[in-house]
Chains A and B, each alone.
Chain A
């Protein structure tokens, strides 16, 4: 697992610095001629000596250890964070007559001409969601494809992509599509966090159980103390009724007075509300400690566009024009 991670990290580094000079020698990647923008961002001029092994890192002076989540990789991630946020891709959709003829809706029709019509648009929202709880962090990526207020479940990888030209498209407002994507993301996230919620809930319940039990017992102990005190006073008072010697009366009176003072004291301190407030504080502390934080970031929006076609069709002896969407493969 560790080795696989190291290989992935190395491949990624090679890809990231592909336009720089790279020397790979005895486990040390020396990267030079790096973009000044990156050097400024990271606060260190190249060359960078990158190693992927902890023991080697100890031996090579000024080397940077690259491992999953290491500082250098975090820095690259941060450097890229405001880059590559928007893309425009044109889907190549040269319609195929025989394929069109197979569409059930055109079963008894004859397609006589196919003419390129207007462009259609698809927007793909790529979100990164970070889940943080206790001392753990998890991450998920979601790509959500939206067209005309609908989320599509469509694999675009089977289409060919051709050079796009932003002059071919009008000004597009994706606010609505973004809202739809956000809603879908929220629903995806809800599913993804289910196992995390189970773990957290179990832990939280355990901690809250401890606190509640503690305060329940504390209040009970105090209540019992009050009860005992009241009982004692009652008992002493009843003894007093049957006592005739001055010395004993005086002792009993003193004991009653002391117990009454103690009882007053217990009540005056309003232990119940104090303990309840304390319990609330600690319960809140635990709830905060077990909070699940979800941070969603839109990292890219890719706008796909492709031409649709007008089909001249002869059906029941009549010529009609129908629109054809070659990506969704629908006639409308």
Chain B
């Protein structure tokens, strides 16, 4: 059924004759439909229908009449799209709508699906006709994930707002909070002040703990939004002190905790903003606006462990030589046709991932360079020489290691499935060809497949083949919880992208612990990056969804000047600054690792502190 039509409530209500008036302070909007006049015209032109249709119509109105808010009438519409029925999500959505009038702080622990609960609230409001204009504000890195979930799970098509002019037509809008909160000091206005002119039926703010400080533009931007319903999502509503909690609740219900002086005298131990004076009373006040559930009290979810394994590859001297030559070419001899050096930054971002992926993608890069007249002859001559060197290499150590690894996995469990990731289509084809020759049963999965093709290939992987070789664009948003082995043939230097890869397997419904294998060339910079991202970030026991919060807290989740993620940018810059000096590169990577570790520790402390007060 075409559920994008939803119901008539979503249709624009232009054909209304409206009257608005105040009745003892209460605003009443009464309207008649302009369509009424058409009916009078039909009578005039003697156009009549069978009266029995009216009886049927009245019965249809009765049957379609929505029940009181005791259950989610929209749930059957989305049930088929959700992987699991977790009752706490429906209960939460109902409580928000029925008991909290749609203004709530949803503070469930990470991993319980706050996004799904918020989506249920949204869908229910739309189906019941309460919401026409909705706004979702998320951290930059989560905009696409939200859009995808709303589309695939809730059949809701949200439009991303980037420019100010886009607000006018945004019925269902989503935006990065970091982008829209920008303040223009010269005009003394928010750049996206148009958002403040709209009366929103519902606003959802993800990772709302960033709204802890009243003085920030972020807080002020949200406070100025006109809204009927407001949902703040965060597992840690305060980090450093209880004033942050006060500020957050001020957005929800002004004065709910009194004035700041009253709050201090009623709820804080004198001189200590972390220590609640009257925790029981504070908890009671919070329960009027907040929902919080802990993982250990929710049934039906099992959390599996991620087991990291980095497989180091000892390159042959020929391979190592070829690799070094490409790095040198990039750092020292990368010229345009005029002989001007091409920005090494640009080269690093676009080329480095290719040369660390496979000899095949290195050769592809070099061949393109030779064939392209925009490069200088010197560069092209060097490239030709390296190609010759590459072609002399008879053994591919990395692919050999991969085959060994697959056998090792099979020895452990011969019926297990493997999701094998690479960033580059050229590498994908190369791997697939070799694995097929080795008689492995594989399915290829890459970008550009139609939805039907995707479905067919997932089915093939589930039922017939053992290995799915995929690029991330191919498998974005798909669920493979029936598979528990992931091999990173190459690794994105962006932990969020790695998290997305692992997220295909590490989701509700996964029954086994997840093995995360990563191939890394020994003695290269790649080895250190893989160690940082896998061992120190993605596989340290965090629950799915926690790493993005940590990066968001550290301001590392948005894109940097190059357009790549800030984290990736820092690693690339470390590569460039090191001038191919491994020692220098390693010390910079250690520094980044130290910062990440600090961020993780702070997050863990915040969780502990939140739990002490709220649970």
Binding site for B on A (CB under 8 A): 5, 8-9, 12, 15-16, 42-44, 54, 57-58, 64-65, 67-71, 73-78, 80-81, 83-89, 123, 126, 128, 132, 134-137, 139, 141, 164, 166, 169, 171-175, 178, 182, 186, 189, 193, 197, 200-201, 204-205, 208, 210-211, 213-215, 217-218, 221, 278, 281-282, 284-285, 287-303
Contact = CB atoms under 8 A, between A and B. Distances in A.
A73 B56 CA distance: 12
Contact of A200 (B26, B44, B262): B26
Nearest to B125: A135
A298 B253 CA distance: 39
A69 B65 contact: yes
B39 A296 contact: no
B36 interface: yes
Interface of B: 1-3, 5, 7-8, 16, 23-33, 35-36, 39-40, 42-54, 56-69, 73, 76-77, 79, 97-98, 101-102, 125, 127-130, 199, 224, 226-229, 253-256, 258-259, 261-262
A221 B36 contact: no
Contact of B27 (A80, A178, A287): A287
A199 B79 CA distance: 34
Given A85-B42, A166-B46, A210-B256, A299 B57 contact: yes
A293 to B, nearest CB: 5
B64 A77 contact: yes
A173 B46 CA distance: 10
B49 A84 contact: yes
A182 to B, nearest CB: 7
A84 B53 contact: yes
A85 B227 CA distance: 37
A79 to B, nearest CB: 8
Contacts of B65: 68-69, 139
B76 A70 contact: yes
Given A73-B60, A77-B64, A80-B60, 12 more contacts: A16-B56, A44-B1, A68-B73, A71-B3, A75-B1, A83-B53, A87-B50, A89-B51, A132-B129, A214-B258, A290-B26, A298-B36
A15 B46 CA distance: 28
B8 A78 contact: yes
Nearest to B28: A292
16 contacts: A12-B59, A12-B60, A42-B2, A43-B1, A69-B67, A75-B5, A87-B48, A166-B46, A174-B44, A214-B259, A221-B259, A288-B228, A293-B31, A296-B30, A300-B57, A301-B39
6 A-B pairs closest in CB distance = A214-B255, A43-B2, A84-B53, A69-B66, A87-B51, A77-B64
B50 A76 contact: no
Contacts of B58: 126, 141, 299
Contacts of A201: 24-26
B76 A57 contact: yes
B254 A214 contact: yes
A86 B67 contact: no
Nearest to A48: B1
Nearest to B228: A289
Contact of B69 (A57, A135, A303): A135
Nearest to B5: A43
Q: From B28, B45, B59, B229, name the one whose CB has the most chain A CB atoms within 10 angstroms.
A: B28
A15 B29 CA distance: 36
A3 B175 CA distance: 44
A76 B60 contact: yes
Q: From A88, A215, A302, name the one whose CB has the most chain B CB atoms within 10 angstroms.
A: A88
B226 A288 contact: yes
Nearest to A302: B51
Contacts of A189: 30
Contacts of B76: 54, 57, 64-65, 67, 70-71
A178 B57 contact: no
Q: From A42, A44, A86, A299, name the one whose CB has the most chain B CB atoms within 10 angstroms.
A: A86
